[in-house]
Chain A
């Protein structure tokens, strides 16, 4: 029942953002395993090829070439095999409309990219802690919305 390691995917076309994220998550000393992708199509290909070994949590940038985050989100949430994966939108946009739009389309978490490394670390930590509780405490996932 309990998984003691959170498996996390990050999909972001910006190489610096990927590096910051990786460093931040490593600094947290939580038991996680991170796999990164450069665009949505790469992520979807990976998910569909590894259905038996799905991640617990996906961080998804919105603006990406080839396949953007919104398309990924819709594909994941409309797939019976993938829709249970928690999706966190990870974007520079902090427009209320974007946020609400992604929530309505099924995003579970919306994380606005912070401007400093410390803030990023704190934000990721908050997301992971909350996600951990939902994983291990049989809380109702359908009501899980988190805006950081």
Chain B
């Protein structure tokens, strides 16, 4: 028997008799959001995040050049620039002056060289120097800000007309173990495996090591490591020399992670990113990325064949 309230009413028995009118439908709104992400992502064959433990190691450069390498091999490719506060993929692809086309079916993403579809926060900000700020009085609350950023990424997945895509590369923001990348990666259903980017310095390798361990603890498949700035190519004679002292090979052996390839520092690569023009496919850097892309497809094929046997 429920407690009697003033007026002789018993709240418990009143509630029992009433049918709950769920006008807000909060649970179903969340479910619908998840269904929309799933429906869009079902049409993407391979979803590959590109991450690292450190900022400034060249994740975006590697993402762009991997996308180009795959597109040159005839695959349909997309890039999700998940770095919301420092988006640079559109500039590297030479399409920073474009934007989404909003239709009833969803947002049509701009396409860059080789018809690579790109989704980035950069397309929603009108001036290059503008910071990414959100409306609201509590804009400094990390909880609110985190929720907001997650929702933006969810909309990028659910509301963009990605269409049929063979490879979607996700350029994750800088951050390591307990930071955002694993959380962001958790938003995307059925990731096929991550590519880790590092540079050969003891500092970067140390942090990357933690990221690898943490990603594995989360059950994320790691396709392999790309070593950026592995050396320096002399612009005069073309000889390659060491640039930094870290031992990437040691991490590769210690953690049993494949080294997908090494990219030396090269001014023409840097220029191509700044100018938003891909390197010629005959350029030695392009050939290295082509090789890395082949290693990735081999690893994906291997993964699929292993799962088939289970």
Do A and B assemble together?
A: no
